[in-house]
Amino acid sequence: MEDTAPSSIPRAFWPETVAAWSEAQDQLFRSFWRSGQPLKSMLENNPWLQPPSLKEPLVWGQGGYWDTAVGREHAYWQDQDLPQATQDIVQMRKDFARWGYCLIEDGLSPAQCQAFLQRLLNQAEGEMAAGIQQITPSGQYVNTLINKGDQFAGCIQHDPRAVQAGPLLEQLTDETLGKGWICHSFLANGADPGGYPQALHMDQGPLLPWVTEEAPALVNTMFIPQDVDAWNGGTLIIPGSHKAVIDAGGGGVIEALPPTINLEAKAGTILFFDGRLIHGTGVNRSDRKRFVATMSNVKPWMRTQENWVVSVAPDILAQASPKLRHRLGFQALTYGSTVEGFGLAGNGRLEDPWGDIRTFREAVDQGDYERVRSLSGSSSPDQLQRNYTVGQAMRRAKAGHKRQKT
């Protein structure tokens, strides 16, 4: 590196000076970022929400959050009007607003459901056999489903051939996140026999201590391909807990919460839930694996959990529809996913050629991504005439733009 350090740096920029003027009480936003809220108060005011030790056998009969029942058998909840699986979108909106979730009855048809489950079980077995299984304290996870079966790309696109409730899910997701949202991740969450409960959390937790008070920034869609209940690890949920989070507000305090329930649902049901709802994987006390699959979706400027632009298989990308490419983050826009500045002029809409970053991924796949490095007017002809990938992307966008106009 060229040494451009001045011979005498002003004293105000010396690390010692900066440190001396940065006492804890003087720092910007320190109490907010360090508050640990609202999770800290959630645990202080609800000690039964403390996760179990993974070094000791799981304890039952002492009121742990995992030690519960389905809503209709729970003394606290059985008389409350908790969401029931339905195909009525009007009821779903009411349930979602009041309880933080709704249940879509037969969101997967019996055939879709069977194919979905079989694929998950086979894949889980294959990953075990290959020695690349991803095991959590709750059970095996199968990640990046898009590369592991045609139906999963269909689910991300809300294609009714893969998920018959697709159009309804798309409508609810558009309403919740605003159009233009992208897919955060799509993976199968296993609760294996003898596993531990997941610590209760909210899926938009990475935003904390910020809390979005109106709409969530993340919404989750859980595909339930086999019956779930209190025995086989039905998801633990505190119904309506999104409201306690909203009431706490950014950096605020969560007061006493009502108890958890285990989700009870028939195979084929889809759970659609608010990113602020407090929930976690339940404990599977049966002797068979239990899988659900979660597809979270987020605002298009957020960093996605799965880095699809790296992971999606080339053949799947080559066949992907504009909608799928958009949901995987291949449609750059001014504030997200630009590559060497390409995409800053993108509007984020499907098929906008000025946001299509496939050129870069294809160049990576072909091993000929040519990045722009240090240049000047007097750089060598070889450097100036190189087939830069960003130049290719710009030419492709111009051609696409013309095509769209004619």
Residues that bind Fe ion (CB under 5 A): 203
Task: Give the span between the Cα atoms of 92 and 7, in whole angstroms.
Answer: 67
DSSP 8-state symbol, 68: -
Question: Which residues make Cβ contacts (< 8 Å) with residue 2, sequence separation at least 6?
Answer: none
Separation in Å, CA 274 to CA 63, 123, 257: 26, 28, 17
Strand, helix or coil for residue 291: strand
Among the listed residues 114, 146, 142, 117, the one whose alpha carbon sits nearest the alpha carbon of residue 128? 142
Q: Tell me whether residue 281 or residue 331 sits nearer to Fe ion (CB atom).
A: 281
For the bound state, the minimum distance from the C-beta of residue 279 to Fe ion, rounded and expressed in Å, comes to 6
For the bound state, the minimum distance from the C-beta of residue 193 to Fe ion, rounded and expressed in Å, comes to 21
For the bound state, the minimum distance from the C-beta of residue 202 to Fe ion, rounded and expressed in Å, comes to 8
Q: Tell me whether residue 123 or residue 294 sits nearer to Fe ion (CB atom).
A: 294
DSSP 8-state symbol, 284: B
Q: Tell me whether residue 296 or residue 392 sits nearer to Fe ion (CB atom).
A: 296
Strand, helix or coil for residue 71: helix
Dig out the tokens for 229 from the structure. 């209940």
Among the listed residues 205, 166, 198, the one whose alpha carbon sits nearest the alpha carbon of residue 184? 205
Check if the beta carbon of residue 357 is closer than 8 Å to that of residue 343: yes
Strand, helix or coil for residue 102: strand
Q: Tell me whether residue 244 or residue 394 sits nearer to Fe ion (CB atom).
A: 244
Check if the beta carbon of residue 152 is closer than 8 Å to that of residue 186: yes
For the bound state, the minimum distance from the C-beta of residue 222 to Fe ion, rounded and expressed in Å, comes to 9
Check if the beta carbon of residue 275 is closer than 8 Å to that of residue 202: yes
Q: Tell me whether residue 280 or residue 336 sits nearer to Fe ion (CB atom).
A: 280
For the bound state, the minimum distance from the C-beta of residue 200 to Fe ion, rounded and expressed in Å, comes to 9
Strand, helix or coil for residue 127: helix
Q: Tell me whether residue 196 or residue 360 sits nearer to Fe ion (CB atom).
A: 196
For the bound state, the minimum distance from the C-beta of residue 201 to Fe ion, rounded and expressed in Å, comes to 6
Q: At what angle do helices 358-366 and 389-405 cross, to 10 degrees?
A: 140
Question: Which residues make Cβ contacts (< 8 Å) with residue 355, sequence separation at least 6?
Answer: 331, 332, 333, 337, 343, 345, 346, 347, 348, 349
Dig out the tokens for 354 from the structure. 């000025």
Among the listed residues 66, 78, 83, 95, the one whose alpha carbon sits nearest the alpha carbon of residue 260? 66
Q: Tell me whether residue 66 or residue 354 sits nearer to Fe ion (CB atom).
A: 66
Q: Which residue is nearest to Fe ion (CB)?
A: 203
For the bound state, the minimum distance from the C-beta of residue 281 to Fe ion, rounded and expressed in Å, comes to 8
For the bound state, the minimum distance from the C-beta of residue 139 to Fe ion, rounded and expressed in Å, comes to 14
Q: Tell me whether residue 206 or residue 258 sits nearer to Fe ion (CB atom).
A: 206
For the bound state, the minimum distance from the C-beta of residue 217 to Fe ion, rounded and expressed in Å, comes to 14
Q: Tell me whether residue 219 or residue 394 sits nearer to Fe ion (CB atom).
A: 219
Check if the beta carbon of residue 295 is closer than 8 Å to that of residue 223: yes
For the bound state, the minimum distance from the C-beta of residue 151 to Fe ion, rounded and expressed in Å, comes to 22
Q: Tell me whether residue 203 or residue 352 sits nearer to Fe ion (CB atom).
A: 203
